[in-house]
Amino acid sequence: MPVVLLRRFREEDAPAARVLVEEATMSTVTPFFQQMATREMVSHAALMLAAVSFVLAGAPLQWSLLSLPLTLLVVYVGVWLAHRIKLRHHGDMDFVEDVYLASNRTGFWVAEVVDESFAGTRFVGGEGRERPCSETPSLTFLAL
């Protein structure tokens, strides 16, 4: 059983914490895209684009049929950009000391594995890079 130490956030935890926040934010791109791609609005947009390109622009039918992949590509890029913008304006990591550590009623906690027999799949080390679990972890999880 691994031994885990819960401790308060320290300044040297910031790079690894930023990596964890970025991974968590960007991990939802595909589920959001899949949810958006199955909405009726996307199929309507693809159909309208096909009709406009075929009827009004006079494009051949095979070119008009590319409207569905084009619409899905635009939706994916839009979801990815929205996540990147959200990440850029994610202000929690910029003011950890001011917001979370300023009062005794708030906190920003780090779970640090202190036993080397930890058997997980992957983790982010204190330097902000991924390492295999055979190495000793210094920062494994943030409890926000």
Report pTM: 0.63
Per-residue DSSP letters for 69-126?
A: HHHHHHHHHHHHHHHHHHHHT-GGGGGHHHHTSSSTT---EEEEE--TT---S-EE-T
Query: pLDDT tens digits, the chain, 144 residues: what are they?
Result: 667 888 888 888 888 888 888 888 899 999 999 999 888 988 888 888 888 888 888 888 777 788 888 989 999 999 999 999 988 887 777 777 777 778 778 788 888 877 666 555 444 444 444 444 444 444 444 444
Per-domain residue ranges for the chain?
A: 4-143
Residue 37's nearest CA partner among 1, 7, 78 is 78
How is residue 28 written in tokens? 């939802």
Closest CA to 27 of 79, 95, 92, 93: 79
18: tokens are 């930023």
d(CA 74, CA 33): 10
In Å, the largest CA–CA distance within the chain is 68
